[in-house]
Chains A and B, each alone.
Chain A
Amino acid sequence: QSVLTQPPSASGFPGQRVTISCSGSTSNIGRNFVYWYQQLAGAAPKLLLHRNDERPSGVPDRFSGSKSGTSASLVISGLQSEDESLYFCASWDDILTGPMFGGGTKLTVL
């Protein structure tokens, strides 16, 4: 089960900036990179950010990330209707010896 904590929901109007948080511990976020995934309804998750703040090819620069201590954030600037999706964070956990995931945040564009 998820041990990275995310708010279950977030919302914003088109054009606004939205921040989604992800909280972990010293065995995961505190020592390792954070990754963010976007999961559109009925689709497979897609890698959105890796190594805390790096965007894979094709991901708009409206998406950015940061990490501090045992927490991380995903920021979406200039919110668009197509950003309405489920977002979840992940980080390698040294105790589990595998990836740990957040519970996911459902973003609604108002």
Chain B
Amino acid sequence: QVQLQESGPGLVQPSQTLSLTCSVSGVSITNGIYYWSWIRQYPERGLEWIGYVYYGGRAYLNPSLKSRLSMSMDTSKNQFSLRLSSVTAADTAVYYCARLVATTFPFYVDSWGQGTLVSVSS
């Protein structure tokens, strides 16, 4: 049974960089049938896919965020991370890490972390 757990600061100042880490247990993030994703949920409930990364370090990022976004993996710790720069209040959301099943295309999310609220405010 896979478990995903987000960690990181709950408050980020405007114009700063938001950094989150997802710790994965129950499966290795180097397992080639899974990709590792970030998704955020706005206060008004809407969900937005942020991007995903897979073993080998390649990342696919939401074009609307690509200029401010980077994602990486730390296989030694079985973790993957998100960095979003130049944040504004519009980036306030609950951030989820999630597992994408990539055995066949198109991929889909089958497991989610509990989510972590990140507020952008001074």
Which residues of A come within 8 Å of B, CB atoms? 1-2, 32-33, 35, 37, 43-47, 50, 56, 86, 88, 90, 92, 96-104
Cα A96 to Cα B96 with chains together (Å): 19
Contact of A90 among B42, B62, B108 (CB under 8 A): B108
Q: Which residues of B contact A50 (CB under 8 A)?
A: 108, 110
Total residues of chain B contacting the partner, CB 8 A:
27
Contact A96 B49 (CB under 8 A): yes
Contact B107 A92 (CB under 8 A): yes
Contact B114 A35 (CB under 8 A): no
Minimum C-beta distance from A102 to chain B (A): 8
- Interface of B (DSSP majority class): strand
Minimum C-beta distance from A63 to chain B (A): 16
Contact A45 B49 (CB under 8 A): no
Which residues of B come within 8 Å of A, CB atoms? 37, 39, 42, 44-49, 51-52, 60, 62-63, 96, 100, 105-115
Contact B60 A98 (CB under 8 A): yes
Name the CB-closest residue of B to A43.
Answer: B114
Cα A100 to Cα B64 with chains together (Å): 13
Q: Which residues of A contact B39 (CB under 8 A)?
A: 99, 101
Q: Which residues of B contact A45 (CB under 8 A)?
A: 96, 112
Q: Which residues of B contact A2 (CB under 8 A)?
A: 46-48
Contact A104 B47 (CB under 8 A): yes
Contact A98 B47 (CB under 8 A): no
Cα A101 to Cα B111 with chains together (Å): 15
Cα A21 to Cα B35 with chains together (Å): 28
Query: 22 A–B contact pairs at CB < 8 A?
Result: A2-B47, A33-B108, A35-B108, A35-B109, A44-B115, A45-B96, A47-B110, A47-B111, A56-B110, A88-B45, A88-B47, A90-B109, A96-B49, A98-B60, A99-B39, A99-B49, A99-B100, A99-B108, A103-B44, A103-B46, A104-B46, A104-B47
